[in-house]
Structure 1
Amino acid sequence: MIKRIFALLFLFFLFFAATQSVNAGLSPLHVAIVNFNYNEFKQLIENGADVNAVEEDSGISVLDFAIRFFRLDQGINKTIFQGFFYINLLIDHGATAIAEKESLQHYLDNRERVSYTLRANDYR
């Protein structure tokens, strides 16, 4: 419970920081995640954004951030499935996890099942 509260406070702080100033240490990719802007996120990556950029203060990578951000909701819902697209795009472009290696492995182990579920339910 305490971890969940801390995670929510952390994300609130990052969201507040992202909406106040991009120069607050967040990369544009971090900001696109916070704003649920997949099109901008994809465009940034396709135009050469650093998929291994880290937030200046905490050192959290974009992939770690996406893993943490999209797993806050415990139930299976559209937000969780949207996270699949962000995380998948990062992995496909060579992003590496620094802190969330166990969560990343869990994601990779279930990647095919999630992909099938997305196609079957036409999420996106």
Structure 2
Amino acid sequence: MQTIRLRITNARLAYKQPDGRYELSDTPVTIHATFLDIFHGWKMDIPKDALVIHGNPPGFDLPDEPFLTPGQYAKFFNDQIRSWCAEANEYHAKHPDAPLYEILELIPEDEPPHSHHDDPPGIIY
């Protein structure tokens, strides 16, 4: 798989109540988050009636240079996630109740994130 995956421990969720309000849970949870793409964001393994209050995965900046190679794009996003997780985990070291982020997978920097290896022969882009 060519994506970014995170494990977020110490996350806090709020659950939807019958009256429509959300109530913050006192129990920390572990979330697995998978980055789908820049347009769809993150997919997280949380219940449908829950919102992540503490422990959201980060957003991404887009590069200033519009003509990067796929490997350069991969490095651009990987560097952002490494930096963001390092800062968040530095905060966690001082505040143990804060979420802790573990990088499980990064986009391979030596191969395009969305390669066309499986496309039928003769396809033209």
Tell me which structure has the larger Cα radius of gyration. 2
Structure with the higher fraction of residues in strand conformation: 2
State the TM-score, normalizing by the size of structure 2: 0.23
Which has a greater percent of helix? 1
